[in-house]
Amino acid sequence: MITLILPEYKAISWNQLYAGRHWSVRSSMAQDAHFQVRCAVIDAGLSMVDVPVGIEIVANLRRLLDPDNICSKIIIDGLKGLVIPDDSSRHVLWVKTRCVKSVTNFTNIHIYHEQVA
């Protein structure tokens, strides 16, 4: 398992992303997530994983979100080309989101190497 910690990233909800937002605002939110992921990957010295993976996004938040409302897509898109070749089902077998009560807001990404028979 690989764990990335995004200390500066407060996971956003799907509601937040799409609630009447202009495309440029959504684009800015995605770019911020991609930047935070890329920084964590570089800091960890990770390279491309050559096996299918499972990905768990853990949103550590002061104010909890519904687990199914955590926007994982923009986080996983930040992994593309750095840790995973693509986010297709050939490379990402499953995605899980979880929310944990925390004193500070931050996000963890757990990448599980999967063995395919």
Q: Domain residues of the chain, as ranges? A: 2-113
The Cα–Cα gap between 18 and 14 comes to 6
The Cα–Cα gap between 116 and 43 comes to 29
pLDDT at 115: 60
Q: Give 6-20 pLDDT, tens digit per residue.
A: 998 999 888 888 887
Mean pLDDT of the chain: 91
Q: How many other CB atoms are there within 10 angstroms of residue 112's CB atom?
A: 14
Q: How far is CA 74 from CA 21, 103, 117, in A?
A: 15, 24, 29
| Domain range 2-113, CATH architecture | 2-Layer Sandwich (3.30)
CA 22 to chain centre: 22
pLDDT at 64: 92
Q: Give 32-80 pLDDT, tens digit per residue.
A: 999 999 999 999 999 999 899 999 999 999 999 888 999 999 999 999 9
Residue type, 14: W
Residue type, 87: D
pTM of this structure? 0.89
